[in-house]
Amino acid sequence: MVRKMRSLLLLGLIGLALMLCELFWVQAMQHTPLPAAVTPAQAKTTAALWLGDAAVTLKQEENSAVSRYLHERKMTEAFRKEAADANKPLVMWKVKSGDSEVLVNRQNGRVEGVRGMTLALFPGTAASRTEQVRQELIKRFSLQSLSVSSINNVGVEHVLLSFETGYQYDGLREVIHAELYGDQFYAFEHRLEVAASSGTEDLGAQNTSKVENAVRGLTMISFTAVAAAIVLTAFYQISKWGVRGQRMFGEALISVSMLVLYWLINPTLAGLITGFLYGMILFGVFVITAPAGLPMQSPDERTSPPRPERFVITLTSELPLQRRWVVPHWPHQQIIAGYGVFGVLAGASTILAWVAAQAGFWFSDLRPQEALALSPWPVLLTGVAAAAAAINEELIFRRLGNFVLNRLLKSWIAAAILSSLVWSMGHLTYDVSPWYYRILELGLVIGPLFFWLYRRYGLGAVITGHFLYNCFLANVALAGAFGNYWGFLWLLLPGLVFALNKKGLRI
């Protein structure tokens, strides 16, 4: 065990070094997070000048077409230089009220677009209205020149106008789109787009393939069916056999903790309901995978730990969580192995990112920035969300996957691949190109690696490693966008288990 642990920690150090190289020097895939100079509250205040005091919703919009264009052409440095100009409309806060919306530049607070309301009345001929709109936009954006590039009549009295500023940058152009309904100036939108692009899609709009939509729909149906099957099977098992003589206090505590974790992630009734559902699913997993044939213990027996020579570093052997915790050094072994797992995952994902970058694959890190910006407690969110994801995913896709699929398929390798593919489909909402990159990354490499680490080092180790990995990436986004580094203290949290044993653990 000592030799295995040392090898894991050595690989973990190498993997962590690779990830740091990617973040600070190579930067092959994930661009440096853009500073969020304008907060959601400030964006709402700006939008209120247009929308009034009506209730609004807010979300982040990225000009992903531009980001993808630059990244797919391995122009990461070009993207950074472009992003350094706060006047470029790359990332917006979209503030919406009913059918009206206002786009506020996340880097300078300027209103880059307004839709769904009458901005001005321009009576006269179509040509004169176009000129009046052009003059209005020149004044608003302090431009030296603005030329008409296209006029598109899409309906009776409904005209789409496109203007160009003359700015060109490595295949990009700066444009302003506008809409006219009769004599009403109805909307405008300032954006960058690929020079070959045409049309007036909303900022950040992407073409979603039929295959991608089908896979996402199938994923939703599959996840719902699996969750229902877990809960119903657990209830049936409890009603027929009880919990197999186990006192599952620790497992019940973890399940109930989902209520708190998901409320902290989303402090609304919806967050509580989500936490309740995940809690039911997790307790179902614990019941289904509970070891059979162990009698209830007397208080004296519970205080006597098993003999060290029978210790096996796994949570799927013959002891429930409450009894395994008193096994000598078990918590410490799992935490130390977890730090090693974190490093191994960091290295594997970094190598994959380098390979994917050579193939022109792309992904954005702006989605976690949005979640952090909209959270009332972003530092807390980086740890809580990481913990919830690690606990849920490792219990469902590793523990339950190993318990059920390994028995059905008679092969842990087949079980690892199948459970990992299902796991990967739950990550299709990430902004990546091509859309199936997460399936290749998580389903065929990272997922099976997780599975192997779980079987070799135990559930506690992979939950710890998964938590540390998610937490690290979330805090990279937090630090880059908001200059807040306090969240990295979460990486020390698992080490607090050593306070339970002053002697520590020699490895």
DSSP 141: H
Q: Where are the beta strands (DSSP E) in 98-198?
A: 100-105, 111-115, 120-121, 147-155, 158-169, 172-181, 184-194
Task: Indicate if the pLDDT at residue 241 is higher than 80.
Answer: no
Residue 375, SS3 per DSSP: coil
Task: Indicate if the pLDDT at residue 394 is higher than 60.
Answer: yes
Asked if 75 and 67 count as a contact pair (C-beta separation under 8 A), the reply is no
Q: Where are the beta strands (DSSP E) in 195-291?
A: none
Asked if 96 and 58 count as a contact pair (C-beta separation under 8 A), the reply is yes
pLDDT digits (tens, 9 = 90+) for 294-338: 443 433 444 444 433 333 333 334 445 555 555 657 788 899 999
Assigned domain for 375 exists:
yes
- Looking at 134, 168, 194, the residue that finishes a domain is 194
Q: Where are the beta strands (DSSP E) in 377-479?
A: 432-433
Average pLDDT score, the chain: 82
- Looking at 194, 209, 233, the residue that finishes a domain is 194
Which structure tokens are listed for 10? 């050595």
| Of 77 and 282, the one with more pLDDT | 282
Task: Indicate if the pLDDT at residue 145 is higher than 70.
Answer: yes
Long-range contacts of 314-317 (CB under 8 A, 24+ apart): 314/455, 314/457, 314/458, 314/459, 315/399, 315/458, 315/459, 315/460, 316/289, 316/399, 316/402, 316/403, 316/458, 316/459, 317/291
Non-local CB neighbours of 42 within 8 Å, separated by 6+ positions: 109
- Looking at 176, 194, 212, the residue that finishes a domain is 194
| Of 69 and 127, the one with more pLDDT | 127
Pairing state between β 432-433 and 158-169: unpaired
| Of 411 and 248, the one with more pLDDT | 411
Task: Indicate if the pLDDT at residue 478 is higher than 60.
Answer: yes
Q: Give kind and range of the element (H or E) at residue 259.
A: helix 249-265
Complete DSSP assignment for 38-58: S-HHHHHHHHHHHHTTS--EE
Assigned domain for 227 exists:
no
pLDDT given at position 30: 57
pLDDT digits (tens, 9 = 90+) for 358-393: 887 777 777 788 888 888 899 999 999 999 999 999
- Domain tally, the chain: 2
Which structure tokens are listed for 269? 């009734």
* Encoded amino acid at 54, one letter: A
| Of 323 and 478, the one with more pLDDT | 478
pLDDT digits (tens, 9 = 90+) for 202-214: 333 344 567 878 8
pLDDT digits (tens, 9 = 90+) for 26-52: 777 655 456 778 989 999 999 999 999
CA distance 103 to 108: 12
Which range of residues forms the domain containing residue 138?
39-194
pLDDT given at position 229: 94
Assigned domain for 320 exists:
no
CA distance 437 to 260: 32
Rounded average pLDDT over 10-39:
82
N- to C-terminal Cα separation, the chain: 9
Assigned domain for 356 exists:
yes
Q: Where are the beta strands (DSSP E) in 398-442?
A: 432-433
Assigned domain for 306 exists:
no
Distance of CA 450 to the CA centre of its chain: 18
pLDDT digits (tens, 9 = 90+) for 417-472: 999 999 999 888 777 777 888 899 999 999 999 999 999 999 999 999 999 999 99
Task: Indicate if the pLDDT at residue 265 is higher than 70.
Answer: yes
CA distance 87 to 167: 13
